[in-house]
Structure 1
Amino acid sequence: MALTQTRKQEIINQYQAHGTDTGSADLQVALLTERINQLTTHLQANPKDHASRRGLLQLIGRRRGLLSYIQKKDFQRYQDLIGRLGIRR
């Protein structure tokens, strides 16, 4: 269910701000979005998995908080990020 190491590295390479960036808010949002997408497909196949649904809601809340932070700090960066990720907010 978790991200594979190669997929995680691909996301890091795509969204990192500089060469050694592994934890910026943009990158965290991108990683959370990938996990949210995986859990969403899992829950479509397993609708009675309530523990995973709770985990999904926690991930969505964490992503929402990070997106709010980015929006307050730099609105243009926020717009670019949600456009690149294809999420609506």
Structure 2
Amino acid sequence: MKLTNQNKADLFKTFGFKQSEKDSGSSESQISLFTHRIKHLTEHLSVKKKDYAAKLGLLKLVGKRKRLLAYLKREDLDRYRNIITSLGLRK
């Protein structure tokens, strides 16, 4: 499932800090985008177990999301808690 511009705009509007369609730079927007891509890759890997390139991409995305979450937790704890609860991430 490819992310179209409309899907990205919906993600940014829903989870972005500025709550606008063009907010693609905030940490919340990036984390929501990474989470969507991680879910998609996880579903793909449940079917195609030997797709090692996708597995490597998944691990890189998880690492990027983890670093962004650590940054957000360090800078603004309220925004961190909001994004964790809205995306349903365990922390």
* TM-score in terms of structure 2 length: 0.90
Q: Which residue of 2 aligns with 1:29?
A: 31
Give the Cα–Cα distance (whole angstroms) in 2 for the partners of residues 22 and 77 of structure 1.
16
Give the Cα–Cα distance (whole angstroms) in 2 for the partners of residues 82 and 31 of structure 1.
13
Which residue among 34, 43, 67 is the counterpart of 1:41? 43
**Which runs of 5 or more structure 2 residues have no equivalent in the other structure?**
none
Identity %: 39
**8 Å contact kept, 1:2–1:35:** no
Paired amino acid for 1:86: G
**Which runs of 5 or more structure 1 residues have no equivalent in the other structure?**
none
The higher-RCO structure (CA 8 Å, 6+ apart) is 1
* Structure 1 runs, 4 residues or longer, greater than 6 Å off: none
Does residue 65 in structure 1 map to residue 67 in structure 2? yes
